[in-house]
Structure 1
């Protein structure tokens, strides 16, 4: 049994027999976001049903209780019992390895990345000092965590500028939502501007930025279907994963049977949510096409452009790994393990990365 599964099993074994009551559950994202509508709301509904109403929830949405980057504090300070999603990349320094799913890949989808991330969290492979990935990212924070359904592949989109040759990226201001996306854009030659997606609509509308790295299906959450006019498809500029997290105290309020139901449900809802991410792409894409948006397959770009993007993808893996390694984090071991799981799912790593990681 992997460390992630063992942690849950141990907690179940130590739990009191008392039935759970009502749990507060918060998100910083709006209800339109798929991490809320396809994960959080489904999770609550299924848990109430499976426990015959013994487990109920008081939900908070869109930052009513806590905002992006403050979710872990809210859990640790007892403000809320459960956060779904805890958006790890906005917690600077707290989850250093959790951006691993944002590394560029080819031929991956949401379900593949979700399964790979679950395997990473369950793995008993030691990354450093006897710690697994779960130990390193979650273990000492006073919470129990699960991965949620990974987003669809992040794409490069602009408000109209065509990106047909390597030089077309040069100096173009583009939104990045994380440090890893900043690296990708820098390698491409663009000028990254870091901001939450919720602020990007205004920046795009005003011309403060001309492009964005974001999943197409997520455009609907931020009303961007009519705004973005040019998108490169076929290469994933990473896929975001985040966490469903519950405090240890709230977990211990559940009976052992309820904990088992919670664990099993959390895992299945993540896969189901990932499928919704994939299913939602087509509808949002069609709305954008009807509004005049152009989608260009990477295979239809010039060989020079394909090579430029491939080199940027490869260099992003190396820089992210070496930057975190210099800070003392076992990034290469984590990336190698994640790469193995992605390849096992049928995904493709950028040229040169398998050799670099020793796969």
Structure 2
């Protein structure tokens, strides 16, 4: 009997040791190339840190540039369905699926910068938007640092300068903002906008400085707007989403490692990388190419874009969501952040 008990005891130890030694592979997919800021300066180092902290038991397989197939618009579904374990994507690429997050992309609400904007975005997610992401384990929610107007042939300094322009838009909210300002929005993935500008298909892009180097946007545009410390034209909200079943299948100790290195901690990684990249991208552009929008002109542009927020609030009301409360929530958090 004692021998049987000892055998059972050692079998349990062996099973426990085997479970502890299990290696977990995380397939991570996203839409930008491997030389992008997110991939090279955040996702790769983050994966390396997970590997080191887990003593090699967490390993990442990275699939940039949509190497697992699909389009940027399908990335969220790829995570939900288990095609990828984790995706880095923009909720706005899947219109209507993450309605509460759209409040963060409305014009002239969020401050520029990774650190400043992302503190608001993460706090907003925790207070107002968790319901949107119920099918996922949310590892991070943050922003692109705020958008400027990058144009090929003429600077944009006033509301009148927008008229007649065709500008690339990253989401439906940004498209509506561009339209409200008198320009024509053209939706396309980041990888296509440089060629479209060089061929004259569009006159420029409303985009964050962070995408300028990897897309070579600076090679086809000569003018870049600057709002002199005022809130941004708009934002693209970005997120890292994990398949819930994959997360739930992790051993408890690996879950703890992932939890320690996601959420606010991962948002901080993105914030630091974004601020450095934005500063470097701006510094690499000639000073003469930066066109400052003066306060009076800025106020006229902001007033013209107000209709975008009003229309969005009405749309949310139609879906049974209190859009006005969400916009006020962003404003309050932005004010506190400043």
Tell me the TM-score normalised to structure 1 length: 0.81
Report matched runs for 1:91-240 at 5 Å. 91-103=94-106, 104-105=108-109, 107-123=111-127, 132-135=128-131, 137-139=132-134, 141=135, 143-234=136-227, 235=230, 236-240=232-236
- Take 1:33 and 1:102, find their aligned partners in 2: how far apart are those partners? 22
- Take 2:58 and 2:158, find their aligned partners in 1: how far apart are those partners? 55
Report matched runs for 1:50-65 at 5 Å. 50-65=53-68
Partner of 1:256: 252
- Take 1:241 and 1:316, find their aligned partners in 2: how far apart are those partners? 17
Report the CA distance shift for 1:175/1:270 in structure 2 as closer, same or farther (over 3 A): same
Report the CA distance shift for 1:165/1:111 in structure 2 as closer, same or farther (over 3 A): closer
Partner of 1:27: 30
Partner of 1:345: 337
- Take 2:238 and 2:160, find their aligned partners in 1: how far apart are those partners? 34
The offset of 1:106, in angstroms, is 6.1
What is the Cα-based RMSD across aligned positions, in Å? 2.1
Report the CA distance shift for 1:259/1:338 in structure 2 as closer, same or farther (over 3 A): farther
Q: Unaligned regions of 5+ residues in structure 2, if any?
A: 1-18
| Cα deviations by residue, 1:122-176 (Å, 9 ceiling, x for unpaired) | 22xxxxxxxx5202x111x2x2113344212210121021234432221211111
Contact persistence 2:186–2:202 (CA under 8 A) = yes
Report the CA distance shift for 1:92/1:237 in structure 2 as closer, same or farther (over 3 A): same
Contact persistence 2:111–2:146 (CA under 8 A) = no
The offset of 1:313, in angstroms, is 3.8
Contact persistence 2:109–2:331 (CA under 8 A) = no
More helix by percentage: 2
Report the CA distance shift for 1:338/1:75 in structure 2 as closer, same or farther (over 3 A): same
Q: Unaligned regions of 5+ residues in structure 1, if any?
A: 1-16, 124-131, 347-359
- Take 2:243 and 2:333, find their aligned partners in 1: how far apart are those partners? 28
Max Rg structure: 2
The offset of 1:107, in angstroms, is 4.1
Greater Cα shift, 48-57 or 103-112: 103-112
Report the CA distance shift for 1:223/1:341 in structure 2 as closer, same or farther (over 3 A): same
The offset of 1:20, in angstroms, is 5.4
- Take 1:261 and 1:344, find their aligned partners in 2: how far apart are those partners? 31
The offset of 1:178, in angstroms, is 0.8
Report matched runs for 1:58-73 at 5 Å. 58-66=61-69, 67-73=71-77
Report the CA distance shift for 1:263/1:100 in structure 2 as closer, same or farther (over 3 A): farther
- Take 1:97 and 1:286, find their aligned partners in 2: how far apart are those partners? 35
- Take 1:146 and 1:120, find their aligned partners in 2: how far apart are those partners? 15
Partner of 1:312: 304
- Take 2:315 and 2:76, find their aligned partners in 1: how far apart are those partners? 24
- Take 1:214 and 1:248, find their aligned partners in 2: how far apart are those partners? 32
Q: 2:85 aligns with which of 78, 81, 88?
A: 81
Tell me the TM-score normalised to structure 2 length: 0.85
- Take 1:133 and 1:152, find their aligned partners in 2: how far apart are those partners? 19
Contact persistence 1:144–1:246 (CA under 8 A) = yes
Residue 124 of structure 2: SS of its match in structure 1?
A: helix
Residue 134 of structure 1: SS of its match in structure 2?
A: helix
Corresponding position: 1:39 with 2:35: no
Residue 233 of structure 2: SS of its match in structure 1?
A: coil
- Take 2:327 and 2:224, find their aligned partners in 1: how far apart are those partners? 27
- Take 1:318 and 1:37, find their aligned partners in 2: how far apart are those partners? 39
